Structure formats: structure tokens, C-alpha cells
Chains A and B, each alone.
Chain A
Amino acid sequence: DQQVKQNSPSLSVQEGRISILNCDYTNSMFDYFLWYKKYPAEGPTFLISISSIKDKNEDGRFTVFLNKSAKHLSLHIVPSQPGDSAVYFCAASARAGGTSYGKLTFGQGTILTVHP
């Protein structure tokens, strides 16, 4: 049962353009969402997060949008840079009323390639 889905295994973008990575979830209990970036042979690195009480969060070149009614979130990277090439994981947690705040459900990941 895949509760967090990233339906695009890969995305290729030209340097300077926008990268849009998408993520869908099915569990209505999820109330906190995160994006992680991962290089080969390294651990995931936190990028940006958003609480379900918001619909947008911005940090520099990275913006996450949340559409609760559609159970959909997206990560926008503008402008994209070759160093952004990595695997991007969407993750979600159900924090309200729970204790396992680090218990994240991850998507399968999207490989982003930014061409110079």
C-alpha cells in the first residue's frame, strides 16, 4: 500500500528553467510534508517542509505547494542548477496526537537531471 507516490521516476530540465516535482498521498492523517534530496551513496538531506495548515512555503530557490483537497504537493526549483541533479524524495508524517514525529512515509523518489 503506497501511501505516498511520486509517479514520475525521472525529470530532465535545462539549467535556468523551472523544475517541478510532484507527489500524491492517500492518507488523510498526514499533516506534515517534507522534501529530501539524495545524492548517490549519501544519506537524504532535508530541503523544505510544509505543515497542512499552509498551502505554500518558500525557501530561496525552493517552494513547496500543498493542495490538501487534491492530496497533492509539489516542489518547484527556480532557477534549476546542475548541482540540483539528485534524487528527490517526498515524505509525509501524521504528527497530530502521535509521538513518532520522525516516522516518515517516503515516496519512491524522482531522479532530477539538470542539463547545463
Chain B
Amino acid sequence: NAGVMQNPRHLVRRRGQEARLRCSPMKGHSHVYWYRQLPEEGLKFMVYLQKENIIDESGMPKERFSAEFPKEGPSILRIQQVVRGDSAAYFCASSYRSPGNTGELFFGEGSRLTVL
């Protein structure tokens, strides 16, 4: 049973370019979360998606960032016109239950974005 798969593991972009990070949740999981970890900090919630729906995007920066989880295919976190401050590790997590669950999230290994 494959875990949460993220790719690419490492991504280097120049300022102004676009970054696309992909996440395939664990089999049977329909809830996807994106978190960002800046250097020397804990993980910060960005967005919570279910298939074709954004449930909670309260942690997403207002500009340049977007996320989707289409009916088919992986979830995508898109960062347009990247700046150096976007350099971070981006973690995707999935779960298969919501109300009443234990809150366990299964995390991927992360995508490390470096903006030059």
C-alpha cells in the first residue's frame, strides 16, 4: 500500500518562474492537506481539499498560490511568479475519514523548493 507520493522531491526555480508540486494521496484517501515548512520553523497549514472542492484555504497566501484536487489525478499546489521567500519544504498529507476520525494525517516526504 503506497504512501502519500509527492513529486518532485526537489525543485529549483528562478524568481518569477512557476512551481508546480504534485501529491497523490494514499489509496482510498479523499482528503488532502498541504503544509509548508520554512527553515527552522514548524509546519504551517495552507489548504484542505477534497475531490474537486477546496474546503479550507485559510492558510494560503492571497496571491500567487493556488491548489486543486481534480476528480482524476493528483492534487496540485501551484505557485506563480516565485520569490525567494517561497523557498521551503511543502508537505502533502492525506486522510480517509473526517468527522470523528482520530486526526491522523499521513504525510508525504515533501517537495523542497529552492528559489534562486
Q: Which residues of A contact B (CB under 8 A)?
A: 4, 6, 32, 34, 36, 41-46, 49, 89, 91, 93, 95, 99-109
Please determine whether B45 and A109 come into contact, CB atoms closer than 8 angstroms.
Answer: no
**Bound Cα distance from A104 to B104, whole angstroms:** 10
A-B contact count (CB 8 A): 73
**Bound Cα distance from A36 to B108, whole angstroms:** 13
Q: Name B3-46 residues within 8 Å CB distance of A.
A: 4, 31, 33, 35, 40-45
Please determine whether B110 and A102 come into contact, CB atoms closer than 8 angstroms.
Answer: no
Count contacts on B: residues with CB < 8 A to the other chain: 30
Taken residue by residue from 92 to 116, chain B's Cβ proximity to chain A (1 for < 8 Å, 0 otherwise) reads as 0101001101111111111000000
Please determine whether B43 and A46 come into contact, CB atoms closer than 8 angstroms.
Answer: no
Contacts of B43 in A (CB 8 A): 44, 89, 91, 104, 106
Contacts of B45 in A (CB 8 A): 103-105
**Interface SS majority for chain A:** loop
Closest chain B residue to A45, Cβ basis: B107
Q: State the Cβ distance, A10 to closest chain B Cβ, in Å.
A: 12
Contacts of B31 in A (CB 8 A): 102
**Bound Cα distance from A105 to B110, whole angstroms:** 18
A–B complex contacts, Cβ < 8 Å, 16 sampled: A36-B107, A43-B93, A49-B103, A49-B104, A91-B43, A93-B103, A99-B55, A101-B95, A101-B99, A101-B101, A102-B95, A103-B33, A103-B48, A104-B43, A108-B41, A109-B42
